[in-house]
Amino acid sequence: MSKHVVVVLSEPVKGRESEFDDWYENTHIPEVLDTTGWTSGQRFKLTAEKGQKCPLQYLAVYEAEAESGDAVVARLDETRSKRQQSDSFDWKRAGLWVFTETGPKRDRHEN
């Protein structure tokens, strides 16, 4: 099994940010973790930029273990019907990427 990071960039439908935030935090992330077996998930909102402009202001990062990045995506797809979807999520603009670990995680205080 390999360690993977799933990165999702998204936006709410215009005028529905509060509903989007509530659904994502209180429904979507817990359901993704429960149905996929992924190990963690957390959301972030863009607050500063330098260089390339970020296309979307919301980021979700999940950690998963699987044989491959394709297996991570397959697990998400095969469990989709077990999760509530929200029409406050702008599905046309969102994107998902899976990154596979290439080296060990390092901490600041490691020698």
Encode pLDDT of 36-87 as tens digits.
999 999 999 999 999 999 999 999 999 999 999 999 999 999 999 999 999 9
pLDDT of residue 109: 85
Those residues whose C-beta lies under 8 Å from the C-beta of residue 95, and which sit 6 or more positions away, are 8, 9, 10, 56
Encode pLDDT of 3-45 as tens digits.
999 999 999 999 999 999 999 999 999 999 999 999 999 999 9
Which domains does the chain carry?
A: 2-100 (3.30.70.100)
Q: Could you write out the three-class secondary structure of the chain?
A: CEEEEEEEEECECCCCHHHHHHHHHHHHHHHHHHHHCCCEEEEEECCCCCCCCCCCCEEEEEEEEECCHHHHHHHHHHCHHHCCCCCCECCCCCEEEEEECCCCCCCCCCC
Nearest-angstrom CA–CA distance, 49 and 74: 32
Instruction: Report pTM.
Output: 0.93
